[in-house]
Structure 1
Amino acid sequence: MSAQSADPQIEWGTPRARWVLLATVTGSGLAFMDASTVNVALPAMGRDLNAEISGLQWVLNAYTLTLAALIPLGGSLADRFGRRRLFQLGVIWFALASLLCGIAPTVEFLSAARGLQGIGGALLTPGSLAILQATFVRRDRARAIGAWSGLSGIATAMGPLVGGWLIDALSWRWIFFMNLPLAVIVVAVAARHVPETRDPEAPPRFDVAGAALVAAGLGCLSWSMISAGEHGFGVGEVSLLVAGVVALCVFVLVQAKIRFPMLPLSLFRNRQFTAANVVTLAVYAALSGMMFLVVLYLQQVAGYSALAAGAALLPVTGLMLVFSARAGHLAELIGPRLPMSLGPLVMAGGMLLFLRLDTNAAYLTTVLPAVVVFGVGLTLTVAPLTATVLAGVPERHSGIASAVNNALSRGAGLLAVAVLPLAAGMSGTSYRDPAVFADGFRTAIVICAVMVGAGGLLAAALIRNRLESGETACPESATDRHYYCAVDGPPIERGTQAESEPS
């Protein structure tokens, strides 16, 4: 590996280590809290801005679109021009975009500002992990990344609670305004305490064309589906659909030909990596669609406040924080196939329990059982899925493999939010009519349950417990890197370049 920094690397437990963690956790926490809070704010935004359901879809999808398209490019830029520099730029960009969101006079303005937020998120999110990987001594990197994951999870869990309180007490606009003082703290701490690092062997060119094609493809597909939900499939909607498919096909062709692709297609020659990403598409499409609809239902039909709706799904995050590591360890012992097959099926069962919701949905007897069952399934799934993605590629590709999986999960969520209301017959202001929305909600939840259940069946058919014939278990030595073990991957670490040789 190329040199990462001229500065002495940081050891765990030192004051500087704590400052670096504060900067990276708070910076990435801005994006995580924002994502988990906006769902809760959608009904209030809709009422205040007189938005139709298509407008609310774009409030979510504009952010996801730019984030999914630009995350791999953001990581490459950070490697080339400096991880601290790009991280700080991302935080400043995100804060300014948050200000625009907070003052938005229309839902169209808000959606555009959310797209700008996604650009900031694409710059700061990969940079936060890359800073930890590059600045901590090797023996302390896993501990630093573990602390980042746990604290970021807490920030994600706090988002709906803090956001719900702000929405009920003040206004939905304050979920964006609160990002401004936090951004000032992050930029100041990073400037003083985070060393600059870069990769001197980073690729000299960036795949801007690839990022543009992904954004155009996903954008056209989303626009087509959201517009079709309002107006049906006319000439404009069909043209957008065709344009989106063509853009994504051209993207694949470009990736096969250029020297430094955003998405090295050689990664998909590994069947385990490909299978894990196929499961990712099914699981995260269903997850994003369900989260979008359940929070709306709790407020619009069941009469929950924004704070209560945000707190309703908190057990999911709690289960993930407490049991994800244990789920990963279980997958190490028995292989990833069973957890990745069973987990989505349990998630499907939890989703179907949401069909019991009605206008008098009591939390303890109706909402909580569905939330807990769904959370158990998600916990069984996520850690083995992530580890399988990373273990399916050599260590030098772990950074781009993680970025690809992240982008695919967000792209799946973007398309799910665009398609589900169309498939369930929701349009216009129907989400404000409890009876009409409840009917569409039930249809959409069944679709989500079928999608995530299909992910479990795909895992059972495609995921293997061994990556090479003759290997049946992980070696016992904790010092070995188990590259052939299907659930043990290297730390998330960007390689020196996104090489295109076969895995």
Structure 2
Amino acid sequence: MGKWSPLVAVCLGAFMLLVDITIVTVALPDMAHDLNASFTGLQWVLDAYALALAALVLGSGSVADHIGRRRVYLIGLVVFAVASLACGVAPNVEILIIARIVQGVGGAAMLATTMALINVTYHGKDRAVALGLWGAVIGIAASAGPVLGGLFTEYVHWRGIFLVNLPISVIAIWMTMRAVGESKNPHASGVDLPGVVAFTASAGAITYGLIQAGEDGWGAAGTLGWLIAGAAALVVFVVIEIRSDHSMLDLALFRRPAFTVILLAALAMSFAAFAYGPFTSIWLQNVLHMKPLPAGLALLPMSVASFLVAGTVGRHLHSVAARLTVGFGLVVIGVGALLLHTGSSWVAVLPGLAVTGLGVGVTGQALPGAMMATVPPHRAGMASGALNTFRQLGFALGVAVLGTVVRGGSSFDNGLESSYVVAGVVGVVVGVIALLFLRSRDSVDQAKPQQVLGAEV
């Protein structure tokens, strides 16, 4: 097979797992109708996948270092394909949610290994080309989700957005087996299974509590119980990581203010820029009565603006202080969310989405390089995994929190507008925090170019 076959095999998996974060957005109203799903059920269709990605990507990377990155990538592809089939034939929303969790498990295995496979397969100029093409695929995946979801939902069926993964997975598995070589980390420590379990329990319980708050109220015993359980699991996770000889997340890194601020910024970017997207899609279709494809296209201005920024000035942003790119980028994201409002036409959301996209283009490009500059080279893989974890966690928590806000409004329009305000405030506040506390003196300044690019997931 050709020199670029390994890259194609890796990019196919990366494209699928990232598209499936947003491809369901436009299909939510049809899913609700066919499966008789509640608003809470729809939130879990989104969050089940994002939470599995967030909780397992660091642990999957550790497993891959031990048993082989190619092997874990292949396992991820198989699990993802089987789960996609289950999603596509799910008879009710409960089965769909379970299948989405399993799909996220497979996605985490792929997300944890795609970059490492590229790094060990290509060298020199070929590596630079491979990373550039991989980055382009990531950008396209982010843009294509709502549009592809609209196409399948309107002209095929919402189940098609999952079933289309099957032939793509088969091709990716075949190419990986034929073209991708195996690699391991000979210096890898043990797998932090207790840490993975504690972190998963914490993230899941907190998200469940936040979603229940929208249904039962913040003072309900169930809501408080889940939130307290999540907090307790988080404490257990911290204790495990402190005592572990092979922790999945070195808590000593949090002593670096820049490391903490960058993770907070990654979480805030997903929260402030993407978490209201599913509810905007529901508004476009259920209130404005738009069909799925036009609704997906109405969400496209954000992705287009982000893609244009990344393609025109993205390569120059690494020479600008991270305090400015991350900070001002988040402020722009927040301002974009504050500009969003409902109305009688989809045009009402166009300016806000476009402005938000500009901020995403800047912040999304700046975060990986900023993260790599704050940690020593031997922690680059862990730092990259942590960045991916907090991005997915920001989306999952954002869907839970903003869903509660939407449900608390006097009408869907009123609740949606309130969610835009909450998202905007989060973006602006964390942007100001980054401007104030993200300092260049915290940088290690030992990041390699491929590590910087490799973190852009």
Which whole-Å CA distance do the structure 2 matches of 1:216 and 1:298 have between them? 34
Counterpart contact for 1:218–1:244, Cα < 8 Å: yes
Deviations 1:99-147 (A, max 9, x none): 1111111111111110010000011112111110111124432321121
The percent identity for this pair of structures is 35
Match of 2:148 among 151, 158, 162: 162
Match of 2:193 among 208, 212, 231: 208
The equivalent of 2:387 in structure 1 is: 405
1:361 is aligned to 2:345: yes
The equivalent of 1:20 in structure 2 is: 6
Which whole-Å CA distance do the structure 1 matches of 2:63 and 2:216 have between them? 40
In structure 2, do the counterparts of structure 1 residues 326 and 274 end up closer, same or farther at CA, with 3 Å as the change threshold?
farther
Match of 1:262 among 220, 245, 248: 248
Counterpart contact for 2:369–2:453, Cα < 8 Å: no
1:380 is aligned to 2:362: yes
In structure 2, do the counterparts of structure 1 residues 313 and 17 end up closer, same or farther at CA, with 3 Å as the change threshold?
farther
Which amino acid letter does the alignment assign opposite residue 361 of structure 1?
Answer: S
Classify the secondary structure of the residue corresponding to 1:259.
coil
After the TM superposition, which residues 85-100 of structure 1 pair with which residues of structure 2 at under 5 Å, given as runs?
A: 85-100=71-86
The equivalent of 1:234 in structure 2 is: 220
Counterpart contact for 2:265–2:330, Cα < 8 Å: no
Counterpart contact for 1:224–1:240, Cα < 8 Å: yes
Which amino acid letter does the alignment assign opposite residue 420 of structure 2?
Answer: I
In structure 2, do the counterparts of structure 1 residues 422 and 368 end up closer, same or farther at CA, with 3 Å as the change threshold?
closer
1:70 is aligned to 2:56: yes
Counterpart contact for 1:165–1:306, Cα < 8 Å: yes
After the TM superposition, which residues 276-291 of structure 1 pair with which residues of structure 2 at under 5 Å, given as runs?
A: 276-291=262-277
The equivalent of 2:15 in structure 1 is: 29
Q: Deviation of residue 395 (structure 1)?
A: 1.3
The equivalent of 2:404 in structure 1 is: 422
Q: Deviation of residue 454 (structure 1)?
A: 0.7
Counterpart contact for 1:325–1:383, Cα < 8 Å: no
Counterpart contact for 1:466–1:486, Cα < 8 Å: no
Deviations 1:8-49 (A, max 9, x none): xxxxxxx63321111011111111121120111111111111
Which whole-Å CA distance do the structure 2 matches of 1:225 and 1:426 have between them? 13
Classify the secondary structure of the residue corresponding to 2:407.
coil
The equivalent of 1:462 in structure 2 is: 437
Counterpart contact for 1:391–1:487, Cα < 8 Å: no
In structure 2, do the counterparts of structure 1 residues 257 and 139 end up closer, same or farther at CA, with 3 Å as the change threshold?
farther
Q: Deviation of residue 394 (structure 1)?
A: 1.2
Counterpart contact for 2:128–2:450, Cα < 8 Å: no
Which whole-Å CA distance do the structure 2 matches of 1:117 and 1:107 have between them? 15
The equivalent of 2:412 in structure 1 is: 437
After the TM superposition, which residues 187-226 of structure 1 pair with which residues of structure 2 at under 5 Å, given as runs?
A: 187-203=173-189, 205-226=190-211
TM-score, normalization by structure 1: 0.86
Q: Deviation of residue 375 (structure 1)?
A: 0.8
Which amino acid letter does the alignment assign opposite residue 106 of structure 1?
Answer: N
In structure 2, do the counterparts of structure 1 residues 192 and 486 end up closer, same or farther at CA, with 3 Å as the change threshold?
closer
Which amino acid letter does the alignment assign opposite residue 459 of structure 1?
Answer: A
Q: Deviation of residue 330 (structure 1)?
A: 4.0
1:83 is aligned to 2:69: yes
Which amino acid letter does the alignment assign opposite residue 417 of structure 1?
Answer: V
Deviations 1:356-398 (A, max 9, x none): x21x2143xx333222111111112221122111111111111
Counterpart contact for 1:43–1:296, Cα < 8 Å: yes
Which whole-Å CA distance do the structure 1 matches of 2:208 and 2:361 have between them? 32
Which whole-Å CA distance do the structure 2 matches of 1:307 and 1:83 have between them? 37
More helix as a share of residues: 2
Which amino acid letter does the alignment assign opposite residue 92 of structure 2?
Answer: T
Which whole-Å CA distance do the structure 2 matches of 1:97 and 1:158 have between them? 21
Which whole-Å CA distance do the structure 2 matches of 1:158 and 1:447 have between them? 26
- For structure 2, the residue ranges without an aligned partner over 5 or more in a row are none
Deviations 1:148-185 (A, max 9, x none): 11023223322322221110112111100000000000
* Greater Cα offset, 296-305 or 90-99: 296-305
Classify the secondary structure of the residue corresponding to 1:393.
coil
Q: Deviation of residue 237 (structure 1)?
A: 2.1
1:113 is aligned to 2:113: no
Classify the secondary structure of the residue corresponding to 2:128.
helix
Q: Deviation of residue 263 (structure 1)?
A: 0.6
Q: Deviation of residue 487 (structure 1)?
A: 12
In structure 2, do the counterparts of structure 1 residues 270 and 17 end up closer, same or farther at CA, with 3 Å as the change threshold?
farther
1:249 is aligned to 2:235: yes
Q: Deviation of residue 461 (structure 1)?
A: 0.9
Classify the secondary structure of the residue corresponding to 2:101.
helix
Match of 2:168 among 172, 179, 182: 182
Match of 2:283 among 290, 294, 297: 297
Match of 2:43 among 50, 53, 57: 57
Which whole-Å CA distance do the structure 1 matches of 2:315 and 2:155 have between them? 42
Classify the secondary structure of the residue corresponding to 1:51.
coil
Query: If you compute each CA radius of gyration, which structure gives the higher value, 1 or 2?
Result: 1
* Greater Cα offset, 31-40 or 344-353: 344-353
The equivalent of 1:484 in structure 2 is: 445
Which whole-Å CA distance do the structure 2 matches of 1:416 and 1:126 have between them? 23
**CA RMSD between the two structures:** 2.1
* Greater Cα offset, 97-106 or 144-153: 144-153
Which whole-Å CA distance do the structure 1 matches of 2:371 and 2:452 have between them? 12
Which amino acid letter does the alignment assign opposite residue 345 of structure 2?
Answer: A
Which whole-Å CA distance do the structure 1 matches of 2:221 and 2:302 have between them? 42
Deviations 1:33-73 (A, max 9, x none): 21120111111111111111100111011111111110001
Counterpart contact for 1:344–1:377, Cα < 8 Å: yes
Classify the secondary structure of the residue corresponding to 2:398.
helix
Which amino acid letter does the alignment assign opposite residue 168 of structure 1?
Answer: E
In structure 2, do the counterparts of structure 1 residues 348 and 162 end up closer, same or farther at CA, with 3 Å as the change threshold?
same
Q: Deviation of residue 325 (structure 1)?
A: 5.6
Classify the secondary structure of the residue corresponding to 2:112.
helix
Counterpart contact for 1:388–1:489, Cα < 8 Å: no
In structure 2, do the counterparts of structure 1 residues 327 and 277 end up closer, same or farther at CA, with 3 Å as the change threshold?
farther
The equivalent of 1:126 in structure 2 is: 112
Deviations 1:411-453 (A, max 9, x none): 12211211222234349xxxxxxx8211110111111111111
The equivalent of 1:474 in structure 2 is: none
Which amino acid letter does the alignment assign opposite residue 431 of structure 2?
Answer: G
